[in-house]
Chain A
Amino acid sequence: MGALIEAHDLCKTFGEIKAVDGISLKVNRGEVLGFLGPNGAGKSTTMKMITGFLEPDSGRASICGHDIQEAPKLAKANLGYVPEGAPSYAEMTPRSFLGFIAEVRGVWGDEVRQRIAAAAAKTGLEPVLDQTIETLSKGYKRRVGVAQAILHDPPVLVMDEPTDGLDPNQKHHVRELIKKMAADKAIIISTHILEEVEAVCTRAVVINRGAIVADGTAEDLLHRITYHGAVSIRVPTERSDAAIRLLKEAQGVAKVETLDKANGHIHLRALPREGALEAARVAAVLRAQSIPIDELYVERGRLDEVFRQITTSDDMKRKKSGEGATNA
């Protein structure tokens, strides 16, 4: 069987603005795809096209092999969707709201109660099932949106910023929930919280200005950062010259950067020629000249720096090529 979620060359223009410009992706069972990008990059628009809320100008999307535009009911029956802000009918109680969703999903009779109970248990909604939704806290409202999406246990889940605006405990809860469900579903979550990608996603796609600029695991993305595998060292300032000289001569080191000086210490970073530097070897080089080491660690890079590096360099490239085009 093919991928549960497939998008092929999706494009959408709003007036003059090209919101999504040729996005293709596949998500298989067991995958949690993190959809990353700056605000306005086209994350939500892409999700709206995948879930069939918006019709793409060109391209197509399918859920479990059913084209979302050609066979919308079949595709949507296999889909659970949490739109941005997790909207729900404020005047209803979670119980009646979930009952309505169950009916629409073709669940009848006793099963309705069971499904509501199961979804409420998974999302921790039990204490508030009979309060009107408008009186609930933001965290509970968000959970109502998630409960609604998982009620029919769909093979495909699409969630637009499911943890936005939640407190750390609630975020943790939602992430645990996603992880638990991940094994037998294909899930897309959009987010701009990068720790979330490392926490729950098996794969991350970065989009910028409506196009995919990176696709891989969190680890793959980290490799893209220039100082991935570099070694950071803190030594006393009076020995800094010796340390820099030794590091430059050390095997496999391409460059040594001085990051900052504070409290009589200097913070250096040795960049590898390729791959990653071995911390033990770097330490040995310094110790051989009895330079005291206050701190030493291999840098992995942080995802938000990767994110910034990818999206801003992409912006600059576009800007340049745009200038080139106007000059020519």
Chain B
Amino acid sequence: MRETLQNSWIIAKREFRAYFATPLAIVFLTIFIALTGAFAFYIGGFFDRGQADLAPFFAYHPWLYLLLVPAVAMRLWAEERKTGTIELLMTLPVSPLEAILGKFFAAWGFIGLALVLTFPMWITVNALGDPDNGIILTSYLGSFLMAGAFLAIGSFVSAMTRNQVIAFILAATIAFLFTMSGFEMVQNALKTWLPEAVSQAVSSMSVLSHFERITRGVVEAPTLVFFVSMIVFWLFATVIAVDQKKAE
């Protein structure tokens, strides 16, 4: 266990630094912060609502993540396969699981950093009024977990291809399906021609409905279990994909 954590940590450090080796990281962080802000102020009507909360800020996170998280995840394995470094990595005394966890945590840490850098929003809302900081905290947690789920999907897709563009598009598509399944419009359409239980089941698989609940300050076991099992499932799928595809 200790060895696994240690090796994952070594890999994660390298991966995390690799993000900052190119200006891409700075570009990404800038876009993330600018867009979350822009959505909150212009589309979410942060000022017009006259309420001191960050709901309009968090409401657009799922849609932003649809594009931004696959962009962070696409290089995780596709690049290793394309440059051949996967052969080096897999012949070091590191297990595939350790490598997969290390890479995943590096990417998750990177998104976490992006989230932390949105702190001016929190300062703003606290300066303007008296928001429920508990809800803001759970919303940040929910956003972070949601990013983790999308990243795990992206990690799997990235291991399936050596083309980063394909990895990006496929990850965004799968993440889109897991988001849309809880969207009201889709739910209404499903209810008209599917039994209630099925549409309920589809909805319970939706990142969106779980995220909405957590941003209302409701931290329930099913929501946490959902996000954690999404991450575990897709990372497990990554283990299989890496093993099957590494030599191609």
Contacts and interface: CB of A to CB of B under 8 A. Distances in A.
Interface of A: 48, 51-54, 72-74, 76-77, 79, 81, 83-85, 87-92, 96, 100-101, 103-106, 132, 148
A53 B247 contact: yes
A103 B93 CA distance: 11
Interface stretch (B40-48, B83-91, B160-168): B83-91
Given A87-B85, A91-B21, A52 B91 contact: yes
A23 B92 CA distance: 24
Nearest to A158: B91
Given A48-B247, A100-B14, A88 B88 contact: yes
Given A53-B246, A100-B14, A89 B92 contact: no
Contacts of B92: 76, 101, 104-105
Cβ-closest 8 pairs across A and B: A91-B21, A87-B84, A83-B87, A76-B93, A77-B93, A73-B93, A87-B85, A103-B10
B7 interface: yes
Given A48-B247, A91-B21, 9 more contacts: A54-B247, A72-B93, A76-B91, A83-B87, A83-B91, A89-B14, A91-B18, A105-B93, A148-B88
A87 B83 contact: yes
A300 B2 CA distance: 59
Interface residues of B, number: 21
Contacts of A88: 85, 88
B91 A79 contact: yes
B7 to A, nearest CB: 7
Most B CB contacts (10 A, CB to CB) among A53, A96, A105 go to: A53
Nearest to A97: B14
B28 to A, nearest CB: 15
B95 interface: yes
Interface string B6-44: 010011001001100110000000000000000000000
Contacts of B21: 91-92, 132
A51 B18 contact: no
Contacts of A81: 88, 91
Interface string B156-174: 0000000000000000000
Given A100-B14, A104-B10, A87 B87 contact: yes
A113 B85 CA distance: 23
Nearest to B99: A104
Interface in B40-78: none
B94 interface: yes
Interface in B206-248: 246-247
B91 A104 contact: no
A104 B18 contact: no
Interface in B79-133: 83-85, 87-88, 90-95
A94 B49 CA distance: 54
A87 B90 CA distance: 12
Contacts of B7: 104
22 contacts: A53-B90, A53-B246, A53-B247, A76-B91, A77-B93, A84-B84, A87-B83, A87-B84, A87-B87, A88-B85, A89-B14, A89-B18, A90-B83, A91-B22, A92-B18, A92-B21, A103-B10, A104-B7, A104-B10, A104-B92, A104-B93, A105-B92
Contact of A83 (B10, B11, B14, B88): B88
Contacts of A106: 93
Contact of B84 (A51, A73, A83, A105): A83
B102 to A, nearest CB: 10
Contacts of B83: 87, 89-90
A81 to B, nearest CB: 5
A105 B18 CA distance: 20
Contacts of A101: 92
A88 B85 CA distance: 6
Interface in B175-194: none
Contacts of A132: 21
Nearest to B19: A91
B135 to A, nearest CB: 40
A90 B91 CA distance: 18
Nearest to B10: A103
A52 B93 CA distance: 10
A17 B18 CA distance: 38
A180 B190 CA distance: 72
Contacts of A96: 17
A87 B83 CA distance: 7
